[in-house]
Amino acid sequence: MPDKTEKDQTQVPFGELLRNFVIELIVYGILIAIYFYVALRFLANPLAALFGNNLAAYAVISLGLIVVQAVFLEFVTSLLFDYLGLHRLSSRPGKH
Amino acid sequence: MEFPIAGVTVDPIALMVIGFIVGVLGGFFGVGGGFLAAPFMFWIGVPMNFVVGTDLAHMTGKSIVAFKRHRALGHVDMKLGALMILGTMVGVEIGAQVIEHLEARQSVDMVIGIIYIVILALVTMFTAYEAVRSLRMMQSDQIDVKDVIGFQGIAKRISSIRIPPMISFPASGIKEISVWMVVGVGLFTGVLSGMLGVGGGFVRMPMLVYVLGIPTHVAVGTDLFEIIFSAGYGTLTHAIKGNVDIIMALAMHTGAAIGAQIGAVSTQYFTGPRIRLFFSFLPLIGILMVVLRLTGVIAV
């Protein structure tokens, strides 16, 4: 039943991780602010019109939009994690 | 900011913060987080009829992000998840039918609320007891492993039931188990979800660990895989009824996406028993929310 952990190969200084994490949050926050005020404001009125006219189409498009955004944001956050070295967290096995 | 679909003005930063908090919880524990998000959404001004549907929509997106990260970490058993979805979907419908039947009688909310509290209290007590026992085992035996389960009696009995067809789940370390046991767990958690509205993850994650014997990290990732489909289905049905503000959900999801990544990556730092110990406190929040709702303090 128990699965053996791998040996901890990568020791990342906590200060560096924290700094990179804060950078990630700032960069992500800026990207999201731009996305929010450009894309979402642009989408709001057409979607509201669709909501009033055709709920079935609105439902399908809503699901599509949230899936597309999820895939896109997963890509962006993963890229930031990797670029800032936060991916090294992933190679550290659970010790606590 | 004005959200024209729901016809209200809500602070988008508040939506993002709520999304971030439930995102971290979802990524770490493999739960949807509806029990926490819904009251807060209502509190910041989201209309009651939009709360559940919008939360489900954001939950779908958040679960995709967390699922992809868990999958990269090897924490998802797709085969197990796909099989459980079948049972869950049937269970949700049965649960909804039971509710419809019960609604003919009075005080259904009180009855369901009490069932919910009892189940969550049992989950809390059992998970905390078992997690502490496992942690003690790991300390006393000096075991350097990622996961130890201190209570394997149920899982052993379940695996000894040999009703064909039998199936193996190599990704979860299960050599052979009856398909019906897996579907049964999905069905049971589905019925509870259908009856109680929320709370699937509360029960499913511990059941995967204690009933099927799945390692905790895999249980978290596989649960998220299942939430993608259950929440996605819920989004569709609620949107058709006009109960989803997708712009609001997209705003919430921008916070949830980063939160889910952080939650999912954080599981690497903790052993299975430690995750289960933290998890054991989570149903207490659910209990508090139900008590507040039953006593009329909050409306959602």
**pLDDT tens across A45-84, in order?**
899 999 999 999 999 999 999 999 999 988 888 888 777 7
Residues in chain B: 300
Cβ–Cβ < 8 Å for B235, A63: yes
**Residue A96: pLDDT over 70:** no
Higher pLDDT, A1 or B169: B169
pLDDT for res A88: 55
Residues of A with CB below 8 A from B152's CB? 1
pLDDT for res A8: 43
Please, which pLDDT band fits residue A4 given cuts at 50, 70 and 90?
very low
Helix or strand (DSSP H, E) at B2: strand B2-3
Q: What's the rounded Cα separation, in Å, for the pair B15 and B8?
A: 13
Helix or strand (DSSP H, E) at B9: strand B8-9
Q: Is B223 exposed, middle or buried (CB count within 10 Å of its CB: 0-12, 13-18, 19+)?
A: buried
Cβ–Cβ < 8 Å for B54, B253: no
Is this prediction's ipTM beyond 0.85? no
| A5 domain-assigned | no
pLDDT for res B145: 62
Domain count, chain A: 1
pLDDT for res B139: 79
pLDDT for res B264: 85
pLDDT for res A51: 94
Q: How far is CA A78 from CA B22, B67, B162, B197, in A?
A: 19, 13, 43, 32
A67 touches chain B (CB under 8 A): yes
pLDDT for res A3: 44
B88 touches chain A (CB under 8 A): no
What angle separates helix B200-210 from helix B179-196, to the nearest 10 degrees? Answer: 160
Percent of all residues in chain A with a pLDDT value above 70, rounded to a whole number: 71
A60 touches chain B (CB under 8 A): yes
Residue A11: both structure tokens together: 């020791």
**Residue A89: pLDDT over 60:** no
Percent of all residues in chain A with a pLDDT value above 90, rounded to a whole number: 28
Among B156, B175, B69, smallest CA distance to A81 is for B69
A-chain residue closest to B275, CA distance: A96
**Residue A86: pLDDT over 70:** no
**Residue A94: pLDDT over 50:** no
User: What mean pLDDT is reported for chain A?
Assistant: 76
How many Cβ pairs within 8 Å bridge chains A and B?
A: 153
Asked if B144 and A5 come within 8 Å (Cβ–Cβ), the reply is: yes
Q: Which residue type does B39 have?
A: P
| A78 domain-assigned | yes
pLDDT for res B21: 92
pLDDT for res B203: 84
Print the domain residue range for A74. Answer: 62-96
- Tokens 């999201």 found at: A32
A-chain residue closest to B233, CA distance: A63
Please, which pLDDT band fits residue A87 given cuts at 50, 70 and 90?
low
* Paired residues of B145 in beta bridges: A4
Among B166, B213, B160, smallest CA distance to B185 is for B213
Among B288, B267, B287, B251, smallest CA distance to B26 is for B267
Asked if B57 and A86 come within 8 Å (Cβ–Cβ), the reply is: no
Instruction: Please identify every stretch of chain B with a pLDDT value under 70, giving residue numbers as ranges.
Output: 103, 105-108, 141-147, 150, 196-199, 298-300
